[in-house]
């Protein structure tokens, strides 16, 4: 090691690990990208090894970076606590920081948060599963509701590891307008989906656009690309397109939209997962975790 770690450098390490890029971290911190790069370079000089692996689509922590991040989070938490004590602020557990992917925010979180004890504050952040996993590992979220599609890979394969609990595992559904020919059927075959018009969401990860049935034997006809979940369903209700919906939000379909099962092999299962960092928890976090598990498992198929 050829230098010392700075508090600013540790905060930059945490932010870059969560955001997945120097540019996004700079934006969140209010720094220039070059300032973030200098802080990372200083950390790497002090550690004598790289903190991040540079990739075309961003950066990920190296093994050394992951080890330093665990200790950095402890140091930063202690410094924040010390700052509050010196300012005379009353000690507080703070809000439980909960993340979820968009349809889980709509279909699961309102019932969970509204049923919690009065005085227990929960802050909610919406995001895609990759971003939520990074936030958990960076320590800026306490809990996150994550989505998994086959093949199911461990979410805790990168240090710092995560504890995960499966909340539910159900089949992906198709949404059609009540005037659509599929609406009178309980289920359709995958081959019936060929030639349909789709409304899809935007993907920030380069994956297939969410909302289109996976693995179709043709290039799907995507006429509408809409990020907002409710707007997609309004297009479906008007009979302009069809889309898919994760089971966690299937009980919230608006008038004019019907959910239909799709039969085919392999089945398109969707797994709902609750993630958290091991060893991190207090009474408030545990209360929210238990409420998420109960609510998710009580949702009707």
Task: Report, as an integer, the average pLDDT of 200-227.
Answer: 81
Give the pLDDT confidence of 12-60 residue by residue, as tens digits: 998 888 788 899 889 888 999 999 999 999 998 988 899 998 888 788 8
Residue 232: φ, ψ to 5°: -60, -45
> Taking a C-beta distance cutoff of 8 angstroms, is the pair 215, 150 a contact?
no
Q: Kindly indicate the confidence band of residue 215, based on its pLDDT and cuts at 50, 70 and 90.
A: confident
3-state secondary structure of 291: helix
Q: How confident is the model at residue 67 (pLDDT cuts 50, 70, 90)?
A: confident
Farthest CA pair distance, the chain: 71
Across the beta sheet with 96-100, the strand order is 122-126, 96-100, 143-148, 269-276, 163-171
Q: Which residue has the higher pLDDT, 71 or 145?
A: 145
* Token digits of residue 202: 């935007």
| H or E element at residue 258 | strand 257-263
HEC letters along 60-102: EECHHHHHHHHHHHHHHHHHHHHHHHHCCCCCCCCCEEEEECH
Residue 206: both structure tokens together: 């380069």
Distance CA 22, CA 15 (A): 9
Q: 157 pLDDT band (50/70/90 cuts)?
A: low
Mean pLDDT on 138-164: 76
Give the per-residue pLDDT at 156.
Answer: 55
Using DSSP bridges, classify how beta strands 187-189 and 257-263 pair: parallel, antiparallel or unpaired: parallel
Q: What is the predicted pLDDT for the residue at 301?
A: 58
Task: Determine the pLDDT at residue 283.
Answer: 82
User: Higher model confidence: residue 78 or residue 208?
Assistant: 78
Examine the pLDDT at 133 and tell me if it is beyond 70: yes
Return the higher-pLDDT residue of 144 and 73: 144
Q: How far is the C-alpha of 250 from the C-alpha of 4, rounded, in Å?
A: 53
Question: pLDDT at position 238, please?
Answer: 95
Can the peptide bond before residue 162 be classed as cis, meaning omega within 30 degrees of 0?
no
pLDDT, greater one: 175 or 131: 175
pLDDT exceeds 60 at position 1: no
DSSP state string for 120-186? --EEEEE--HHHHHHHHHHTS-SEEEEEE-SS---TT-SSSP-EEEEEEEEE-EEEEETTSGGGG-S
**Distance between alpha carbon 79 and the CA centroid of its chain, in Å?**
28
**pLDDT tens column, 232-246:** 999 999 999 999 998
Q: What is the pTM of this model?
A: 0.69
So what's the pLDDT on residue 275?
A: 92
pLDDT at 209: 75
* DSSP 8-state class, residue 242: B
Higher pLDDT, 268 or 258: 258
Exposure b/e, 231-241, CB count within 10 A at least 16 = b: ebbebbbeeeb
**Residues 6+ positions from 253 with CB-CB distance below 8 Å:** 175, 233, 245, 259
pLDDT of residue 2: 55
Residue 15, pLDDT score: 87
Query: What's residue 190's pLDDT?
Result: 92
Q: Is the pLDDT of residue 158 over 60?
A: no
- Looking at per-residue pLDDT, the higher value among 199 and 4 belongs to 199
Mean pLDDT taken over the chain: 85
Domains delineated in the chain: 7-86 (1.10.10.10), 96-169+270-298 (3.40.190.10), 173-267 (3.40.190.10)
Confidence class for position 266, pLDDT limits 50, 70, 90: low
pLDDT at 34: 92
pLDDT tens digits, 73-124: 778 877 876 776 777 655 455 689 999 988 899 889 988 988 888 888 899 9
């Amino acid at each position: 090691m050829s230098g010392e770690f700075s508090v600013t450098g540790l905060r930059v390490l945490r932010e870059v690990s969560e955001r997945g890029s120097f540019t996004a971290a700079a934006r969140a911190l209010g720094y220039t990208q070059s300032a973030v790069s200098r802080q990372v370079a200083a950390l790497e000089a002090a550690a004598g090894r790289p903190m991040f692996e540079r990739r075309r689509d961003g950066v990920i922590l190296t093994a050394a970076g992951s080890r330093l991040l665990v200790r950095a989070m402890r140091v930063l938490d202690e410094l924040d606590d010390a700052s509050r004590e010196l300012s005379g602020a009353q000690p507080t557990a703070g809000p439980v920081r909960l993340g979820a992917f968009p349809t889980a925010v709509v279909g699961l979180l309102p019932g969970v948060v509204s049923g919690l004890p009065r005085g227990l504050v929960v802050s909610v952040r919406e995001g895609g599963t990759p971003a939520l996993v990074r936030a958990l590992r960076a320590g800026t979220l306490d809990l996150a509701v994550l989505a998994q599609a086959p093949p199911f890979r461990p979410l805790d394969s990168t240090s710092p590891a995560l504890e995960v609990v499966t909340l539910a595992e159900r089949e992906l559904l198709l949404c059609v307008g009540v005037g659509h020919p599929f609406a009178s059927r309980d289920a359709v075959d995958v081959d019936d989906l060929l030639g349909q018009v789709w409304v899809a969401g935007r993907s920030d990860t380069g994956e297939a656009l969410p909302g289109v049935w996976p693995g179709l034997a043709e290039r799907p006809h995507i006429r509408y690309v809409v990020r907002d979940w409710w707007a997609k369903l309004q297009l479906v209700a008007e009979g302009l397109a069809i889309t898919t919906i994760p089971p966690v939000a299937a009980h919230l379909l608006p008038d004019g939209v019907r959910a239909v099962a799709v039969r085919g092999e392999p089945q398109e299962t969707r797994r709902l997962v609750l993630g958290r960092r091991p060893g991190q928890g207090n009474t408030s976090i545990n209360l929210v975790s238990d409420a998420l598990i109960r609510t998710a498992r009580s949702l009707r198929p």
